[in-house]
A and B are shown apart, each in its own frame.
Chain A
Amino acid sequence: MRSGYVAMALVVIAALLPLVFVSVVPVDVPRALRELGKYYVLNTIKDSASPEAVAAVVWDYRGLDTIYETVVLYLAIVGGLAIFRISREVAKRAIIGLTVLTQTATKVIALLIATISSAIALHGHLTPGGGFPGGSALAITSMLIVPVFSVYSLLERGITSTRLIAVRGLALTALGLVALLPVIRGLEIVTNQRFYPAGLGPFVISGSISMYNLFEFFAVASGFTAVAIYLSIPEELYRAELGVGGA
C-alpha cells in the first residue's frame, strides 16, 4: 500500500495548487445568468406551477423524453427478467440471515431509507429530488434486506419478481394515462398546466408533475427490487434448470 500513500500525498499537493493559483491570479466566477437560464428562472412557476425548475424541465418542458426514458428502463428490466427466468418454483429453504444485531440495525436503516425516499419522491415538485432518485433510494432497502434476511424472506411474503414487474407495469400504465388524458380535450400529449390543476386544496401539486413523480417512484422501486430478487436466486437452481453441472 506504499503507492497508496504516495497517491494521497500527491492529492494533498495537487489540492494546494489551486490555493496558490487563486492567491496569485484573481479568479472571478461569472455570476450573471445566461438567457436560457433566465427564462427558466422567471417562467417555470408560471408555465408549470412548480417552484423547482429541474422537475419542471424533466416532466413538463421535455416530458415526452422522460416518458420514453422510463419505457427504455422498463424494457431493460423485462429483458433481464427474461434472461434470468426459471420455470420452476423457487423451493423454500430455511431462512438463514445474518446475526440478530445486523438484522435489527438493518430494520432501522431500512425504515429510515424508506421514509427519506418517499419524502424525496413526494416532494419532488417542490424541492430537489423526484420519482427516479426516490425510487432508486427505496430499492436500496430491498438490496439491503436480501443479503441480511435472505431472499426467501421476501419470497415468503409474496414479493416475487413477477409481481413486482406487474406493479411496475401498472405504475407505467398510470403514468402513460396521465400523459395521454389531455388529448381528450384536444390538447397535445404531456400537457400540464392547461389541463391539470396547480393545487389540490391547501397543497401545491404542480399539475401532473407530482403524479408523474409518484408513479415513477413506484415503477423504479419495484423494477430495481425485481432485479435484486432475480439476481439473488442461487446459481444451483439455474444449473438444475439447464441440466448441466452436478449441482
Chain B
Amino acid sequence: MILPLLIIAVSALLSLVFVYMAITEKDLLKAVAFSAGQSICYAILLQVMAAPDIAMTYIAVSVGLYSAILLFTISKTERYEEVGK
C-alpha cells in the first residue's frame, strides 16, 4: 500500500522540478527534453493510478509526437532564447 503512494509522490514532485527547469532553461532543445521528462513522470502517475489506456496515449503523444513537433518547430527558428529582454 505504501509503494504506490511513494511512487505517486516522487513522480509528481519530479514533474514539478522538470516543469521549473523547462521554463527557466534558455536553450530550447534542453527545454524540450525537460518537458519530455515531465511527461514521463505523468505517464508513471497514470500507470500507478491504473489507467493504462491513458498512459499509453499519453506517452505516444506527449513524449513522442509533441517533442518531435516542437523540435521541428525549433529547427525553423532559433535555438536560444534571447537573454536580457
Tally of A interface residues using CB under 8 Å? 33
Is B64 a contact partner of A15 (Cβ separation < 8 A)?
A: no
Q: A8-B17, A228-B68 are in contact. Are A54 and B73 (CB under 8 A)?
A: no
Is A15 a contact partner of B9 (Cβ separation < 8 A)?
A: yes
Q: A227-B69, A231-B72 are in contact. Are A19 and B61 (CB under 8 A)?
A: no
Is A7 a contact partner of B20 (Cβ separation < 8 A)?
A: yes
Q: Is A11 an interface residue (CB 8 A)?
A: yes
Chain B, 1-32, contact with A by CB distance < 8 Å: what is the 0/1 string? Answer: 11001101110011001001100000000000
Is A27 a contact partner of B5 (Cβ separation < 8 A)?
A: yes
Which A residues are in CB contact (< 8 Å) with B14? 11
Assembled-state Cα–Cα distance A143/B65 (Å):
8
Is A11 a contact partner of B13 (Cβ separation < 8 A)?
A: yes
Which A residues are in CB contact (< 8 Å) with B53? 54-55, 128-130, 133
Is B68 a contact partner of A133 (Cβ separation < 8 A)?
A: no
Is B72 a contact partner of A232 (Cβ separation < 8 A)?
A: yes
Q: Is B76 an interface residue (CB 8 A)?
A: yes
Assembled-state Cα–Cα distance A11/B7 (Å):
12
Is B6 a contact partner of A27 (Cβ separation < 8 A)?
A: no
**Chain A nearest Cβ from B28, distance in angstroms:** 15
Which A residues are in CB contact (< 8 Å) with B61? 136
Is B17 a contact partner of A11 (Cβ separation < 8 A)?
A: yes
Residue of B nearest to A144 (CB): B68
Which A residues are in CB contact (< 8 Å) with B56? 120, 128-129, 133
Is A19 a contact partner of B69 (Cβ separation < 8 A)?
A: no
Assembled-state Cα–Cα distance A183/B46 (Å):
38
Q: A14-B9, A27-B1, A139-B65 are in contact. Are A133 and B20 (CB under 8 A)?
A: no
Q: A128-B52, A129-B53, A232-B72 are in contact. Are A11 and B64 (CB under 8 A)?
A: no
Is A22 a contact partner of B1 (Cβ separation < 8 A)?
A: yes
CB-contact partner of B57 in A11, A15, A136, under 8 A: A136
**Chain B nearest Cβ from A241, distance in angstroms:** 14
Is A231 a contact partner of B17 (Cβ separation < 8 A)?
A: no
Which A residues are in CB contact (< 8 Å) with B1? 22, 27, 29
Chain B, 53-78, contact with A by CB distance < 8 Å: what is the 0/1 string? Answer: 10011001100110011011100100
Assembled-state Cα–Cα distance A147/B60 (Å):
18
Is A140 a contact partner of B5 (Cβ separation < 8 A)?
A: no
Residue of A nearest to B7 (CB): A15
Residue of A nearest to B72 (CB): A231
| Sample of 9 A–B contacts (CB below 8 Å) | A4-B17, A4-B21, A17-B9, A18-B8, A29-B1, A129-B53, A139-B64, A139-B65, A228-B69
Top 9 nearest A-B pairs by Cβ distance?
A: A136-B60, A143-B68, A128-B52, A231-B72, A140-B64, A15-B10, A133-B57, A133-B56, A54-B53
Given contact pairs A7-B20, A14-B13, enumerate 17 new A-B contacts (beta carbons under 8 Å).
A4-B21, A7-B21, A8-B17, A15-B6, A18-B5, A18-B9, A27-B1, A128-B53, A129-B56, A130-B53, A136-B60, A137-B64, A139-B65, A140-B65, A147-B71, A227-B69, A228-B69
